Amino acid sequence: MINYDIHIHTHLSSCGARDAFMQDYINAASELSLELMGFADHAWDDSVNGASPWYAPQTYKRLIARKEELKTLDKKGINVLLGAEGEYANELLAIGDSAAEFVDYILVPHSHTHMKGFVLPSGCVGNPEKHASYLVKSFISLCNHEKRNMFFGIVHPMSPCGETEEYTEKIFSFITDEMLKECACAASENKVALEVNLSEFKKIPPDQLHQHCYNRFFDACKRAGCEFFMGSDAHAVKAFVDNHGLKNGIVDALGMDESFFKAAKLRISNG
């Protein structure tokens, strides 16, 4: 049983439901028999210039409030961590040197390419070949980043957020197996954990999961000996519960089992 989730959004994320509160998530996690959970609200370090208008108000400093709130909550015996989801926008890593003071861990996406002209360069918009090149280049550069020790792992890796399944397939048609191997090796060599993102996979019809293009990426990562972690990427409590209901089927479709997720859980539990 994969009994943890370290990618959960509360109302403190601008895209989170207004009633997405930590206690309600904890209550639901207890019903799901989770042992560890982590809240990873969006954050942009205000010491790093270049935030978009959406990101600018979402500072690491604002997350301090969660620490005091957590002291008042019934954690139901669950190990609750307070993390953040940072950003890697067109190779700009929005993590300053002081970010770690405010959180237990940081996760970083490279594939928020629905933020066109900000994350995804304007010249790549509407061009699946250039979009593919961007995904590969940004993934490898993030794994090799000089500040890679400041973040734990990559969320929704190689998944072009906001794109249709048809367009995603077009993008992946320009990504060779050799490119995927290079990505996987970069993650493995630098001990960058990779997320199995339940929100992204739930968009795929169950009977198509086994042959979906993401399987090529995860197969390469398994061969390279990468670490994997579980994230629901839930923005509301109901989505959190629903996503975990799909978890076992998604993991099976990827040819994984709970052993693939143990190393990352142990590492993040130990800080």
Domain ranges in the chain are 4-269
**Span 200-232, pLDDT tens digits:** 999 888 778 778 889 999 999 999 999 999 999
| Alpha-carbon gap, residue 71 to 216, rounded angstroms | 43
| Alpha-carbon gap, residue 196 to 62, rounded angstroms | 27
Q: What is the pLDDT of residue 212?
A: 86
| Alpha-carbon gap, residue 225 to 222, rounded angstroms | 5
**Span 26-41, pLDDT tens digits:** 999 999 999 999 999 9
Tokens read off for 166: 């048809």
Contacts of 219 (CB under 8 A, 6+ apart): 255
Q: What is the pLDDT of residue 158?
A: 98
What is the average pLDDT across 188-193? 97
- Correct CATH for 4-269 of 3.20.20.140, 3.30.413.10, 2.40.50.40, 3.90.76.10: 3.20.20.140
Q: What is the pLDDT of residue 49?
A: 97
Q: What is the pLDDT of residue 208?
A: 83
Q: What is the pLDDT of residue 32?
A: 98
Average pLDDT of every residue of the chain: 96
Give which of 62, 67, 21, 27 is closest to 42, Cα–Cα.
Answer: 62
Element holding 155 (H helix, E strand): strand 153-155
| Alpha-carbon gap, residue 1 to 149, rounded angstroms | 29
Reported as a pLDDT band with limits 50, 70 and 90, residue 1 is confident
Q: What is the pTM of this model?
A: 0.97
Tokens read off for 252: 């099976």
**Span 145-154, pLDDT tens digits:** 999 999 999 9
Centre a 10 Å sphere on the Cβ of residue 67 and count the other Cβ atoms it contains.
12
Q: What is the pLDDT of residue 19?
A: 97
Reported as a pLDDT band with limits 50, 70 and 90, residue 43 is very high
Q: What is the pLDDT of residue 171?
A: 97
Tokens read off for 39: 């809240």
Our CA dihedral for 12, 45, 7, 9, rounded to 10 degrees, sits at 10
What is the average pLDDT across 117-123? 98
Centre a 10 Å sphere on the Cβ of residue 48 and count the other Cβ atoms it contains.
18
DSSP per residue over 132-150, as a string? HHHHHHHHHHHHT-TTGGG
| Alpha-carbon gap, residue 83 to 94, rounded angstroms | 15
Element holding 223 (H helix, E strand): helix 214-223
Element holding 194 (H helix, E strand): strand 193-197
What is the average pLDDT across 95-117? 96
Q: How many CA atoms lie within 13 A of 128 on its CB side?
A: 14
Q: What is the pLDDT of residue 210?
A: 77
| Alpha-carbon gap, residue 199 to 88, rounded angstroms | 20
Strands 106-109 and 228-231: unpaired
Percent above pLDDT 90 for the chain = 94
Question: Are 160 and 171 spatial neighbours (Cβ–Cβ below 8 Å)?
Answer: yes
Element holding 178 (H helix, E strand): helix 177-189
Predicted confidence (pLDDT) at residue 137 exceeds the cutoff of 90: yes
Give which of 198, 206, 268 is closest to 233, Cα–Cα.
Answer: 198
**Span 49-76, pLDDT tens digits:** 999 999 999 999 999 999 999 999 999 9
